[in-house]
Chain A
Amino acid sequence: MARLPLKHLTEKEGIAALFFLAFCLGLALMFQPSVGTSNQAPSVSHAVAPWIFGPFQILLLYLPPRVGALLIPILIIAGISGLPWLVDVLGVKWGQRIFMTLFVFVCALLLWFVVKELWWT
């Protein structure tokens, strides 16, 4: 395969960087993130996790803590980490299916959290 001088890559990285920075700045100027409830205020009755940890909150809501907070996350991380070896043993098709199942499972939990905690209430 042909090899090109680094400047070709740097130019594209620079353009991507400018777009990303502009997007970030736009978000920062337009949307003020919540700071939550002051610890001097009356206690909130129901704390909602940040969206990134929404899947955790859903798992903890319906499963025993040892299963929802330890076993399932460890299995997911192990499954994702082991993808190259899963592919070795089971083949690309099944290895990637297992990965995508885990990924979609986490996304589904996130969607469940968004609907239940952020949108529905």
Chain B
Amino acid sequence: MNDSKNFVNHIRPRFVPEGALRVLYTFCLGGVSFLAFIVLGVTGLLLMFHYQPGDNAFSSILTISSVIPYGGVIRNLHYWAGQLMVVTVNLHMLRVVWTHSYKPPKQLNWLVGVGLLIFVLFLDFTGYLLIGSQESGAAATVAVNILGLIRLIGSGLAQILFGEPSVLSGSTLVVYVWHCVALPMVAFLLQLYHFWRVRRDGGVRPL
């Protein structure tokens, strides 16, 4: 079967170039970022059983952290995996620049990677809003005000992205759906495309 015609074989080919196996070349940063995404998906799913968006968000977080068995560890794991993903994605970008892996024919994949970085930041931000604390309420207010600076579409965009955040809590059902469904789904599809492009554009070349 021709690899170039098979999506799965591009993501997980039967053979890989020897250079791609050098740990000190990639430092596994892309793979580790993806693993963080998986950890976030699993722990996020577990948190969804007890989390309540809206006015009860903050109290539900406290309940998860202190009442639900292992809830505290699951929430901590979700938090730290999220922070580490931001770090590993940035380090991965630096590695790509260091090894010139953005050069033709990889320009499109570079753009996809930058898009994924922005998605990761949005995921982190919406996750912060879901805590429902005063700080997340303030962050939501700042974000809505920033979007409001964009003429014509700003207020509509804020409504689409945040719903109607209260000053005291950034947690709304709209933010919840963005954080748990829409953003992760699009990010996952983009990641599959990103991995596929890595193989299609020539995989990993040694320095």
List residues of chain A with CB under 8 Å of any chain B CB.
Answer: 1-6, 8-9, 12-13, 16-17, 20-21, 23-25, 27-29, 31-33, 35-39, 41, 43-44, 47-50, 52-53, 60, 65-66, 69-70, 77, 80-81, 83-85, 87, 92, 96, 99-100, 103
Contacts and interface: CB of A to CB of B under 8 A. Distances in A.
A76 B55 CA distance: 36
Contacts of A21: 35, 39
A81 B111 contact: yes
A52 B121 contact: yes
A85 B100 CA distance: 13
Contacts of A77: 114, 118
B21 A29 contact: no
Interface in B104-144: 104, 106-107, 110-111, 114, 118, 121, 124-125, 128, 131-139, 142
A65 B169 contact: no
Interface residues of B, number: 66
Contacts of A1: 17-19, 206
Interface of B: 12-21, 23, 28, 31-32, 35-36, 39, 58, 61-62, 65, 72-73, 75-77, 79-81, 83-84, 86, 93-94, 97, 100, 102-104, 106-107, 110-111, 114, 118, 121, 124-125, 128, 131-139, 142, 145-146, 149-150, 168-169, 206
Contact of A25 (B62, B77, B104, B107): B77
Contacts of B19: 1
B14 A6 contact: yes
11 contacts: A3-B16, A6-B14, A50-B125, A50-B139, A52-B83, A52-B125, A53-B125, A60-B142, A65-B145, A77-B114, A80-B93
B150 A33 contact: no
B113 to A, nearest CB: 10
Given A38-B58, A77-B118, A92 B12 contact: no
Contacts of A47: 134-135, 138-139
B102 A39 contact: no
Nearest to A1: B17
Given A28-B79, A44-B135, A81-B114, 12 more contacts: A12-B28, A16-B31, A20-B84, A27-B84, A28-B76, A31-B76, A32-B76, A35-B61, A44-B138, A47-B139, A69-B146, A83-B102
